[in-house]
Structure 1
Amino acid sequence: MRSNAVTIPVIRLHGTIMSGGGQFRQPLSLASAAGVIEKAFSFKDAPAVAISVNSPGGSPVQSRLIYRRIRDLAKEKDKTVLVFVEDVAASGGYMIALAGDEIIADPSSIVGSIGVVSAGFGFTELLEKIGVERRLHAAGRNKATLDPFSPEKPEDVEHLKALQLEVHQTFIDLVKDRRANRLANTDDLFTGLFWSGISGKALGLVDHLGDMRSFLKTRYGEKTQLRLVSPQRGFFGRRMGLFGSASGAAADDIAARAVHGLADAAMDRALWARYGL
């Protein structure tokens, strides 16, 4: 006897958003997410795809690519997309959430941060203090723009700000297109501020407050089954040559990767910490 229970595929898009990846972390990008997204939309009888988003943001390009892939498949497969925000869907994380036909958040979730930011450090006096001479050779007048070991130039900053404004406007246009008349009429929406799920709902950034399981069972019936779609993972350490594997990686190469891993972890920590997480 066939069950009349509805099965909803669920995917988790969690983490900071950036291209590439390392041995110590797998960031959220189109390359890392495409497989599970495609698989979730392959459930022929599912009326919807549920997506759990938990991201403080990152690359605007990867965010938009993930958003676009979800929307293209939703149209192709004629599926409703329901996005559920966990701790945070901010900046690029909120851009991904916009792929949802409806966005559901916890009252304490953090949403928004519709803006663009660049950050770095200046080391113009450090080298002199430690007795190091900086030698920089470039072909092209602007090739060394915003070099952290050179004094900051006003024209370089203006160029960066102009670029940021273009990226910001792309983000704003996407929010307005997807949320349309659901948005509150306030100038604060696109300033980079972020809000709780409760305030996000009042502002039109979120449609409902709740959790995935309860929401889906209310929408599709108590017999609704959630099917988590997970990425395939290889054996940890095989590519690094750890645990006696035969990759042949040299000790100094492993150490270098470890340093990069720590830098990546620091960057991840900074993005999450901005939202108190």
Structure 2
Amino acid sequence: MDVRSVTSRIPGIGDRGERKDVVAVVKLHGVITPTPTPFARGVINLAAVESALTRAFDHDRLKAVALLINSPGGAPTQSGLVAERIRQLAAGKPEIPVLAFCEDVAASGGYWLACAADEIYAHRTSMVGSIGVISGGFGFTGLLERFGVERRLHTAGENKARLDPFSPEKPEDIEWLKKMHTQLHELFVDWVKKRRPGKLADTEELFTGDVWLGSRAAELGLIDGIGNLQEVIADRYPDAEISVAEPKRSLLARLGLGAPAAASAMLDALAQRVVWSRFGL
């Protein structure tokens, strides 16, 4: 048997037996949430993506790391933690570029993640931006009265029960929440400006929380160009192979054991559905 005919079929091995360069891909797909869901698919947090990020940057013959992003956003802290971890790993290999590719949506926290890359690309139809802060909830005071239910709440500390959904809203609590939103918004804006110096259009329109399609996002400097992962990588690294870095899964997850209760899983799915629906997805 001709040894060359065997080695040429091994992934990463060329016709002459040399190992190919690698572009490592990390998929950042889903809602960004701190909720520990080891059995669920489609959520992003540091615990969920840490192993995939580490594997990506540890590849031999690494030419670039590509972040494949499809996220409507979510928790700001997890957005920051994941983005900072990407930059920390990138700092250890300053010669390796980090490229972000926006798919359907890279909005809010999803765009925060994209800004961890050195360059950002999107499809013409991708929804990009939403540099703002949002929170929501429900009030159940009328429901309790309707069924004759008395709310009993005891605290130590006058501000311990801010925005309790079973109590009437207080103006001072709303003002407190607005201040928190303003502070988070300022951090988001500072992060975008830090990561994209000299690239952003000189307009406050960028930071109103609006979202744009890929072509307009390019005009505003939110992304570096129009393109998808396959075509950009093929053009810049024609001799490299794409290797998807998958996160490690626990033994219970691999065996399909220990899945969350049906009610809890349904609530998680509903919460994620609400976030995606803001972008018509």
TM-score by length of 2: 0.89
Q: Structure 1 residue 23: deviation in Å?
A: 6.5
Q: Structure 1 residue 229: deviation in Å?
A: 1.0
Contact persistence 1:112–1:194 (CA under 8 A): yes
- Residue of structure 2 in register with 1:174 after alignment: 191
- Secondary structure in 1 matching 2:275: helix
- Residue of structure 2 in register with 1:258 after alignment: 262
Question: Which of these residues, 220, 228, 239, is aligned with residue 258 of structure 2?
Answer: 239
Q: Sort the Cα spacing of 1:112 and 1:155 in 2 relative to 1 into closer, same or farther, 3 A.
A: same
Q: Structure 1 residue 74: deviation in Å?
A: 0.6
CA distance in 1, matches of 2:88, 2:101: 19
- Residue of structure 1 in register with 2:242 after alignment: 226
- Residue of structure 2 in register with 1:93 after alignment: 110
- Residue of structure 2 in register with 1:195 after alignment: 212
For 1:144-223, list aligned pairs within 5 A: 144-221=161-238, 223=239
Q: Structure 1 residue 22: deviation in Å?
A: 3.3
- Secondary structure in 2 matching 1:235: helix
Letter in 2 for 1:35: S
Contact persistence 1:22–1:261 (CA under 8 A): no
- Residue of structure 2 in register with 1:7 after alignment: 22
CA distance in 2, matches of 1:236, 1:264: 22
Moved over 2 A (4+): 1-6, 20-27, 232-237
Question: Which of these residues, 61, 79, 86, is aligned with residue 70 of structure 1?
Answer: 86
- Residue of structure 1 in register with 2:40 after alignment: 25
TM-score by length of 1: 0.90
Bigger drift between 28-37 and 41-50 goes to 41-50
CA distance in 2, matches of 1:13, 1:131: 46
Indicate yes or no: 2:117 matched with 1:113: no
Question: Which of these residues, 39, 47, 51, is aligned with residue 55 of structure 2?
Answer: 39
CA distance in 2, matches of 1:119, 1:227: 39
CA distance in 1, matches of 2:39, 2:58: 30
Q: How many residues align?
A: 261
CA distance in 1, matches of 2:57, 2:17: 22
CA distance in 1, matches of 2:56, 2:179: 38
Letter in 1 for 2:75: S
Q: Structure 1 residue 68: deviation in Å?
A: 0.5
Q: Structure 1 residue 134: deviation in Å?
A: 1.1
Q: Structure 1 residue 6: deviation in Å?
A: 2.5
Contact persistence 1:51–1:82 (CA under 8 A): yes
Any stretches of 5+ residues in structure 1 without a counterpart? 241-253
CA distance in 2, matches of 1:239, 1:151: 39
Per-residue Cα deviation, 1:84-111 (whole angstroms, up to 9, x for no partner)? 1111110000000001100010110111
Contact persistence 2:20–2:61 (CA under 8 A): no
Q: Percent sequence identity over matched residues?
A: 47
CA distance in 2, matches of 1:201, 1:121: 37
CA distance in 2, matches of 1:84, 1:13: 10
Indicate yes or no: 2:98 matched with 1:81: yes
Letter in 2 for 1:260: S
CA RMSD for the aligned pairs? 1.4
- Secondary structure in 2 matching 1:77: coil
